[in-house]
Amino acid sequence: MKDYVVIGGSASEHLAKNIAKKLQAKYLKTRVKIFPDGERKITVVGQVRKCKIIVVQSTYTPVDSNLVEALSLISKAREMSNEVIAVIPYMGYAKQDKEFLKGEITTISVIAKLFKASGATQLIVVDFHSPKALDFFKVPIKNLSAVSLLAQYFKNLKLKEPLIVSPDMYWRHKAKEFAKYLNATSIALNKQRDRKTGKLIIKSPHLKFSKGRDLVLFDDMISTGGSILKAIEFLKKENFRKIYVACTHPVFVGNSERRIKKSGITKIIGTNSVEGKFSRIDLSDIIVKTILDWKS
């Protein structure tokens, strides 16, 4: 479609190309040079005029570098167009949505101001960790859900009496929604974290299930894997047949991937909000639909 041009950031190049292809839009690639001190020199290859520009760039690790790239691309796009749709499938700092301990900065409120200041006129995110924090953003914003896409993948696997488990109470509504697509049941564990030490404990009572069922642990994101590993440890004694892990944002920092695989899980499934080996689910369809349906 001649009305759109897509700029793909270095963190989301594959997703950006899929979006451009489905919109039949021109694609502008990004060239990034990293200097010895860590600074990035960012170049948009090509120029356009009189069109809507879509900038696609997730801000996963390295979070700050990818965030600066996203803001820089948006700023450059705004020089070329009055309409810039920022597609940030994974938004870093979304967990920092309030002052948990005295003196802490609500960083996502700062990030929200930066997107406005850089020139974004619309913003698209996916399974944003804190829906309440969306209010910090002073540009029109759409928070998309990947639940149906992930659920469809598992529906095709034909699991045996699947149980969908949220590793904490926060994601229980999404786990319930996920389960409905599979005509399955869901539960949420009562995970609690010490804000000072970071230690995790599960306070859920001992649960009994029939043996031989398949288990899907479902969360919005996996970073260190602490919550998932604690949940696996808690549930493993229940003799499930296979244990799967599903998430929208497969961030996986440090040795988290190795630790989760070592725990005995069957498969890890994520979306391409974070591009890597677990990006089995493509988000481009729901993003394109939102762009086309969105009245500017």
Task: Identify the pLDDT of residue 49.
Answer: 78
The dihedral formed by the CA atoms of 261, 265, 269 and 274, expressed in degrees to the nearest 10? -30
Specify if 50 maps to a domain: yes
Per-residue tens of pLDDT for the chain, all 296 residues:
558 999 999 999 999 999 999 999 999 999 999 999 989 999 999 888 779 999 999 999 999 999 999 999 999 999 999 999 999 999 999 998 888 888 999 999 999 999 999 999 999 999 998 888 999 999 999 999 999 999 999 999 989 999 999 988 888 999 999 999 999 999 888 867 666 666 666 666 566 666 789 999 999 999 999 889 988 888 887 788 899 999 999 999 999 989 998 988 999 999 999 999 999 999 999 999 999 998 65
Looking at the fold, whether 8 and 141 belong to one and the same domain comes out as yes
Say how far apart CA 131 and CA 143 lie, in whole Å: 8
Looking at the fold, whether 41 and 151 belong to one and the same domain comes out as no
Looking at the fold, whether 99 and 230 belong to one and the same domain comes out as no
Specify if 277 maps to a domain: no
Which residue in 11, 23, 13, 9 sits closest to 52, CA to CA? 23
Instruction: Report yes or no: 119 and 78 within 8 Å, Cβ to Cβ.
Output: yes
DSSP letter string, 156-214: TTT-SS-EEEESSGGGHHHHHHHHHHTT-EEEE--EEE-TTT--EEE-PPP----TT-E
Omega prior to 62 cis, within 30 of 0: yes
Looking at the fold, whether 288 and 141 belong to one and the same domain comes out as yes
Looking at the fold, whether 44 and 105 belong to one and the same domain comes out as yes
Instruction: Report yes or no: 214 and 159 within 8 Å, Cβ to Cβ.
Output: yes
Name the residue range of residue 231's domain.
147-272
* CATH number of residue 180's parent domain: 3.40.50.2020
Looking at the fold, whether 19 and 132 belong to one and the same domain comes out as yes
Task: Identify the pLDDT of residue 85.
Answer: 98
Q: Which residues is 201 bridged to in the sheet? A: 192
Place of tokens 């786990």: 175
Looking at the fold, whether 108 and 184 belong to one and the same domain comes out as no
Looking at the fold, whether 177 and 192 belong to one and the same domain comes out as yes
Looking at the fold, whether 226 and 170 belong to one and the same domain comes out as yes
Instruction: Report yes or no: 235 and 263 within 8 Å, Cβ to Cβ.
Output: no
**Share in percent of the chain as helix, strand, coil (round to 5):** 35, 25, 40
How many structural domains is the chain composed of? Answer: 2
Specify if 81 maps to a domain: yes
The dihedral formed by the CA atoms of 140, 116, 249 and 286, expressed in degrees to the nearest 10? 30
Instruction: Report yes or no: 62 and 14 within 8 Å, Cβ to Cβ.
Output: no
Residues annotated as part of the active site: 191
Helix orientation angle between 63-80 and 107-118, rounded to the nearest 10 degrees: 30
Instruction: Report yes or no: 177 and 147 within 8 Å, Cβ to Cβ.
Output: yes
Widest distance between CA atoms in the chain: 62
Amino acid type, 258? R
Specify if 124 maps to a domain: yes
Say how far apart CA 89 and CA 18 lie, in whole Å: 14
DSSP label of 139: S
Tell me the pTM. Answer: 0.93
Q: Which residues is 152 bridged to in the sheet? A: none
Looking at the fold, whether 88 and 140 belong to one and the same domain comes out as yes
